[in-house]
Chain A
Amino acid sequence: MSTASINTYLNSYSKAAPLAVFRVFFGLLMLISIVRFALNGWIQKLYIEPDFFFSYYGFEWVQPPGEWTYLIFAVCGLSAIFISLGFKYRFAVITFCLSFTFIELMDKTTYLNHYYFISILSFLMIFLPANSYFSVDAARNPTLKAEFIPSWTIDVIKLLLFIVYFYAGLAKLNSDWLFQAMPLKIWLPAKYSIPLLGDLLQQSWVHFAFAWGGALYDLSIPFLLLIKRTRIFAFILVVIFHILTRILFPIGMFPYIMIISALIFFDAGLHTRILDRISTFLKIDLDAFNNSERYSFKSSISKKFSLSILGAFFLFQLLFPFRYLLYPGELFWTEEGYRFSWRVMLIEKAGYANFKVVDSETQKRFYVDNTEFLTRFQEKQMSTQPDFILEYAHHLEEYYQNRGIEDPEIYVESFVALNGRRSAPYIDPEIDLTTIKRNLKPKKWILPFNDEIKGL
């Protein structure tokens, strides 16, 4: 591709309707997500009740601010409304991105790929002119109003979706998923009481069909959505696939977000019709936005700035999921480089971690009752992930130091079962975890995985 054709592309324009529709629904779904989260009592349960929170490396300073956590959620929800309305859009989307990401950074116990997706999507949206059409901002500011926007500002969202699906598909190309139908073989039979499907879910061939179908879906759907001839079929698949995952798994709002997001692949005609409907219903004059104007960045510097940020962003997105290659050992076992890589539903881990505290002075020893320090949810996550185990051990060290044991040694007897394999010792029980520093280097104190999972 020549520089000229890149320039031509960067200077090509499309109708702004698809991005406007995306903005409206994104804001709405985020609002619903936040309200649902609050109504489920999860703010209290996940961010206020626990005594201790697990931090991402380098983000130890992000801690839930007690009752003020509600305020962060309120700000996040409000900014979602503003995004949907396209009111003070840039400010709203920055606020949303920051507050949402802050929430996610408060405790990594709750980590989900979906949440990461929302964080980076909202980051991406900071640089897009999603308020140039069908927005309060555009209605109030004629210079902002534009019926056409640079094509790349729509295509970047497609690119992000492309990466999410395709990488999720690549991650499924491993022997556990394809040849053992694991962990589906564990999850699906337990759904026996689902009407109609319940009995089918007991059958081995169904597990394999789901596994192969799922991998094939993830790998092919971005292409099927891109190609015009297959787009409608692809969208039907998207709906079926995500509704199915909604029925089978406790997956929250994510299916709806993906279904709505997939609309961005359609031509502007569809989005214009959607906006038309909304306008008729809300008695908005949609035509007022059709000014035949092209959106122009405030300056060529701001355009270049946006483009270079997004360039770096996508380079990061393409490379970051492969950082696991820098670590020895089985990724599913050590989980070093597992997060932020679109590895969705790939592993079922169960663990047991029993911490032993030894007073190095008196050699007196005793075991820790994890429920004194962690919620059940935190304990479950902690017992299967080495970075959690280490952080918790350090927390225990501090706790017992404050309790008068000058130099506590902390050991863990831990067992993990991965994807239906028999449980095996996980962390070296002879290692005093207080002597290990938190960092991103390979964790040599994880015991080896005595099996092999082939594939990416």
Chain B
Amino acid sequence: MKRYLFLFLSVSLLVSSCTETNPSGPDPDDFDRKAILENWAENIIIPALTDFSQKTESLKTAGNNFAENPSQQALEALRDEWKTGYLAWQQVSMFETPKTMEIRFRNNLNIYPVDTAKVKENIGQGEYNLNLPSQIDQQGFPALDYLLYGLAESDSEILAFYNSGENSSDYRNYVVDLVTRIDSLTDIVLNDWNSSYRHEFVNNSGNGANSSIDMMVNDYIFYYEKNLRAGKIGIPAGVFSGTPLPQNVEGVYSREFSKELFLESLTATQNFFNGKHFNSETTGSSLSNYLDFLNTIKNGTDLTQLINQQFEASRTKAQNLNSSFVDQVETNNSLMLQTYDELQKNVILMKVDMLQALNINVDYVDADGD
């Protein structure tokens, strides 16, 4: 019996010594997966959320100022804060936690198109409960977009709604309620991270369906596919409907910012992939170096490079887009479709190649395997 054991061991050794002579990639012992989670939490998510919460605070102040005195000046100030906040939102929208799921953070802040009829109904009745799931398309940034830009053609006509219209005070209250809610929901999420979730997130560093990495990567790809690729480009361009839907553009009423919002979101997703610290040039551990570690070199190029190249290709294509996607889909939709195609290529690279390399299942299925 010992002979067989010896044979087995020596064959194993033989095999290992054959392969050990040409190791590839970084030293495996050096790779620390927990460092990814720390980097995500400490250098990306919490700083981005902190920044966003400061901006929602300013937005709230501007909203209250506007409600007190709906002047042209106050309107412009509020629009500025709205835009700043909306851009900052693009940096945090992708990060799901149990808390964001519970309060439907993303849905409450950015479901578009806004249901303008219901918004007007809410204002007309003066009574509404924005906490209800049925109210998600009557609040958040898209509802403000409508209220600050879309009520009428000219600024003076818009201001009239707040100053002299039949329920002008209800209009003012609605704006205050919207900015207050954006700010308070953001505080809930940030406080959750700062109090307990950070610790929980970083220490859930195992492998498996419910580990932080698996969940975050799934949510990240979901965001890229559904919110960025489809929501910001594909749906307005009519990829799913056959005909363009300009009314489904993000920021449809302000018109001028849709491209900026999209690019901000694209940059945020790429920065997350590369572990780039929020508002800084420093990079830390993330999917990019995890993939490098896993040595997924294919077709002569590595996956990190392929994905980054694809991010760049999407950005390059998008540079030619009109700053207003409404104008873009109405005048030259094919450029939108081309941008979509570039974005789509990264869905495949991330959802197929990256997930395989990381051995993460798309929304893990709990069943036996072979």
The finding on whether chains A and B are genuine partners in a shared complex, rather than unrelated, reads yes
Is A202's CB under 8 angstroms from B29's CB? yes
Interface readout for A182-212 with B: 1 if CB under 8 Å, 0 if not?
0000110111110000010011111011001
Neighbouring A residues of B240 by C-beta, 8 Å: 366-367
Q: A179 CA to B18 CA in the complex, in Å?
A: 11
Is A351's CB under 8 angstroms from B352's CB? yes
| A345-B370 contact given A186-B359, A205-B19, A416-B352, CB 8 Å threshold | yes
Is A186's CB under 8 angstroms from B357's CB? yes
Interface readout for A372-394 with B: 1 if CB under 8 Å, 0 if not?
00011101100000000000000
Is B361's CB under 8 angstroms from A380's CB? yes
Which of A51-59, A66-74, A279-287, A420-428 lies at the binding interface? A420-428
For chain B, residues 16 to 35, give those with C-beta under 8 angstroms from any C-beta of chain A.
16-20, 23-24, 28-29, 31, 33
In the complex, A250 has a CB within 8 A of chain B: yes
Q: How far is the CB of A236 from chain B (nearest CB, A)?
A: 8
For chain A, residues 325 to 374, give those with C-beta under 8 angstroms from any C-beta of chain B.
344-345, 348-352, 364-367
Which of B52-60, B82-90, B122-130, B294-302 lies at the binding interface? B294-302
Q: A390 CA to B166 CA in the complex, in Å?
A: 60
Which residue of the partner chain, among A187, A205, A224, contacts B16 with CB atoms under 8 Å?
A205
Interface readout for B352-365 with A: 1 if CB under 8 Å, 0 if not?
11011111111101
Q: How far is the CB of B152 from chain A (nearest CB, A)?
A: 34
| A204-B359 contact given A212-B11, A251-B370, A352-B347, CB 8 Å threshold | no
Q: A191 CA to B33 CA in the complex, in Å?
A: 12
Q: How far is the CB of B181 from chain A (nearest CB, A)?
A: 29
Is B366's CB under 8 angstroms from A40's CB? yes
Q: How far is the CB of B200 from chain A (nearest CB, A)?
A: 16
B28, closest chain A residue (CB): A202
Is B365's CB under 8 angstroms from A377's CB? yes
Question: How many B residues, CB 8 Å from partner?
Answer: 55
Neighbouring B residues of A251 by C-beta, 8 Å: 368-370
Which of B1-9, B42-50, B280-288, B326-334 lies at the binding interface? B1-9
Is B23's CB under 8 angstroms from A204's CB? yes
In the complex, A113 has a CB within 8 A of chain B: yes
Q: How far is the CB of B301 from chain A (nearest CB, A)?
A: 8
Is B370's CB under 8 angstroms from A377's CB? no
| A417-B15 contact given A193-B205, A380-B361, CB 8 Å threshold | no
Is A186's CB under 8 angstroms from B29's CB? no
Neighbouring A residues of B358 by C-beta, 8 Å: 190
Q: A42 CA to B8 CA in the complex, in Å?
A: 39
Q: A273 CA to B17 CA in the complex, in Å?
A: 45
In the complex, A401 has a CB within 8 A of chain B: no
B226, closest chain A residue (CB): A369
User: Which among A199, A349, A367 has the greatest number of chain B C-beta atoms within 10 A?
Assistant: A367
Neighbouring B residues of A253 by C-beta, 8 Å: 368
Neighbouring B residues of A216 by C-beta, 8 Å: 8, 11
Is B15's CB under 8 angstroms from A189's CB? no
Is B207's CB under 8 angstroms from A192's CB? yes
User: Which among A42, A232, A233, A375 has the greatest number of chain B C-beta atoms within 10 A?
Assistant: A233
Neighbouring A residues of B298 by C-beta, 8 Å: 420-422
In the complex, A249 has a CB within 8 A of chain B: yes
Neighbouring A residues of B243 by C-beta, 8 Å: 364
Interface readout for B229-257 with A: 1 if CB under 8 Å, 0 if not?
00000000001111100000000000000
A200, closest chain B residue (CB): B28
Is A252's CB under 8 angstroms from B368's CB? yes
Interface readout for A74-100 with B: 1 if CB under 8 Å, 0 if not?
000000000000000000000000000
For chain A, residues 398 to 432, give those with C-beta under 8 angstroms from any C-beta of chain B.
415-417, 420-423
Is B207's CB under 8 angstroms from A205's CB? no
Neighbouring A residues of B239 by C-beta, 8 Å: 367
Neighbouring B residues of A191 by C-beta, 8 Å: 207
Neighbouring A residues of B29 by C-beta, 8 Å: 199, 202
Neighbouring B residues of A208 by C-beta, 8 Å: 15-16, 18-19
Is A350's CB under 8 angstroms from B355's CB? yes
Is B356's CB under 8 angstroms from A376's CB? no
B27, closest chain A residue (CB): A202
| A352-B351 contact given A190-B207, A417-B356, CB 8 Å threshold | yes
Q: How far is the CB of B369 from chain A (nearest CB, A)?
A: 5
Is B23's CB under 8 angstroms from A250's CB? no
Neighbouring A residues of B365 by C-beta, 8 Å: 375-377, 380
Q: A5 CA to B306 CA in the complex, in Å?
A: 66
For chain A, residues 416 to 451, give those with C-beta under 8 angstroms from any C-beta of chain B.
416-417, 420-423
Neighbouring B residues of A192 by C-beta, 8 Å: 33, 207
Neighbouring B residues of A254 by C-beta, 8 Å: 368
In the complex, B349 has a CB within 8 A of chain A: yes
Neighbouring B residues of A375 by C-beta, 8 Å: 365
In the complex, B319 has a CB within 8 A of chain A: no
Neighbouring B residues of A423 by C-beta, 8 Å: 348-349, 352-353
For chain A, residues 102 to 131, give those with C-beta under 8 angstroms from any C-beta of chain B.
110, 112-114
Is B367's CB under 8 angstroms from A46's CB? yes
Q: How far is the CB of B12 from chain A (nearest CB, A)?
A: 5
Neighbouring A residues of B356 by C-beta, 8 Å: 186, 348-350, 417, 420
Neighbouring B residues of A348 by C-beta, 8 Å: 356, 359
Neighbouring B residues of A193 by C-beta, 8 Å: 205-208, 211
| A112-B368 contact given A233-B4, A348-B356, CB 8 Å threshold | yes
Neighbouring A residues of B31 by C-beta, 8 Å: 202
In the complex, A143 has a CB within 8 A of chain B: no
Q: How far is the CB of B9 from chain A (nearest CB, A)?
A: 10
Neighbouring B residues of A11 by C-beta, 8 Å: none
A368, closest chain B residue (CB): B240
Is B352's CB under 8 angstroms from A352's CB? yes
Is B19's CB under 8 angstroms from A204's CB? yes
B238, closest chain A residue (CB): A366
In the complex, A230 has a CB within 8 A of chain B: yes
In the complex, A213 has a CB within 8 A of chain B: yes
Neighbouring B residues of A421 by C-beta, 8 Å: 298
Neighbouring B residues of A365 by C-beta, 8 Å: 242
Which residue of the partner chain, among A199, A230, A345, A379, contacts B4 with CB atoms under 8 Å?
A230
Is A417's CB under 8 angstroms from B11's CB? no
Neighbouring B residues of A250 by C-beta, 8 Å: 367-369
Neighbouring A residues of B296 by C-beta, 8 Å: 420
Q: How far is the CB of A165 from chain B (nearest CB, A)?
A: 14
Is B20's CB under 8 angstroms from A204's CB? yes
Q: A209 CA to B358 CA in the complex, in Å?
A: 21
Q: A191 CA to B369 CA in the complex, in Å?
A: 15
Which residue of the partner chain, among A186, A199, A230, contacts B1 with CB atoms under 8 Å?
A230
| A209-B367 contact given A415-B352, A416-B352, CB 8 Å threshold | no
Can you add 15 more A-B contacts, CB < 8 Å, to A113-B370, A253-B368, A420-B356?
Answer: A112-B369, A114-B370, A187-B359, A202-B31, A205-B16, A212-B12, A213-B8, A213-B12, A224-B4, A250-B369, A252-B368, A350-B351, A365-B242, A367-B240, A417-B353
14 intermolecular pairs with C-beta atoms under 8 Å apart: A46-B367, A112-B370, A204-B19, A209-B12, A212-B12, A213-B12, A232-B1, A253-B368, A352-B348, A352-B351, A415-B352, A416-B352, A420-B296, A420-B298
